């Protein structure tokens, strides 16, 4: 509730969001909570950010959120109302109780937390349009992981012709590295063939400078 109230335009509906959220798991076996349990919550909380400013990420949590928070050029899932409110939290219920529990809520699959992020990630990707972006860690042996939320949930959910292109921002320690989507594991194969894909290598220091200088949107890479 506290985090919901930090969204000024949402103050009048936070109680309704809380009620819809609790309905998904309160009084239920934590190991039975599937994506459909959150249908009411997401029906009442559609994404409101510009669909053409969708930013995905994988293994770049800290840097990408520093960038989106400072520049407000792009929006990650955690910059949206539900993503922001539930980021970092754990929750579940148990049969016969009206309490919200926060301990050992993720020790089985499915569970309330994983199911929420599965459906949130899918709907976030379905909201995307025009040109979407993703920030990946170029220092990893395999920057693109087909088993990550981005690879397994968001990439398959990107819809053509709604989404026309995906820009991969590959962050490295040093500048000057070349990159292509075809070189990023199975990304090109996993992505709808009708969606264009370009890769732009950028140094971490350059992104940090964009954040520090409040660089205009679209000019950091």
Known catalytic residues are 51, 129
The sign of the dihedral angle between the CA atoms of 161, 162, 165, 168 is: negative
CB atoms within 10 A of CB 197: 18
Q: How many angstroms separate the first and last alpha carbons of the chain?
A: 37
Q: The tokens 């087909």 sit on which residue?
A: 146
Pair 74, 132: CB distance under 8 Å: no
Separation CA 150–CA 56 (nearest Å): 7
* CA angle (142, 147, 149) in 5-degree steps: 105
Pair 187, 197: CB distance under 8 Å: yes
Beta strands in the chain (DSSP E): 55-58, 130-137, 163-172, 196-203
């Amino acid at each position: 509730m506290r985090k919901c109230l930090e969204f000024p335009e949402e103050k009048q509906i936070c109680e309704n969001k809380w009620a819809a959220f609790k309905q998904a798991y309160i009084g239920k076996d934590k190991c039975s909570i599937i994506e459909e349990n959150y249908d009411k919550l997401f029906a009442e909380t559609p994404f409101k950010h510009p669909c053409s400013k969708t930013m995905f990420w994988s293994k770049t949590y800290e840097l990408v959120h520093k960038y989106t928070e400072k520049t407000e050029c792009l929006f990650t899932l955690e910059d949206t109302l539900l993503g922001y409110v539930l980021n970092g939290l754990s929750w579940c219920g148990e049969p016969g109780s009206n309490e919200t529990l926060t301990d050992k809520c993720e020790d089985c699959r499915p569970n309330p937390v994983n199911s929420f992020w599965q459906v949130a990630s899918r709907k976030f990707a379905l909201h995307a349009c025009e040109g979407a972006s993703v920030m990946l860690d170029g220092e990893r042996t395999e920057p693109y992981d087909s088993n990550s939320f981005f690879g397994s949930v968001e990439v398959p959910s990107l819809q053509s012709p709604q989404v026309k292109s995906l820009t991969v921002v590959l962050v490295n320690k040093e500048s000057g590295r070349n990159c292509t989507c075809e070189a990023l594991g199975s990304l090109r194969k996993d992505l709808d063939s009708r969606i264009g894909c370009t890769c732009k290598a950028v140094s971490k220091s350059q992104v940090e400078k964009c954040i520090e200088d409040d660089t205009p949107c679209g000019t950091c890479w």
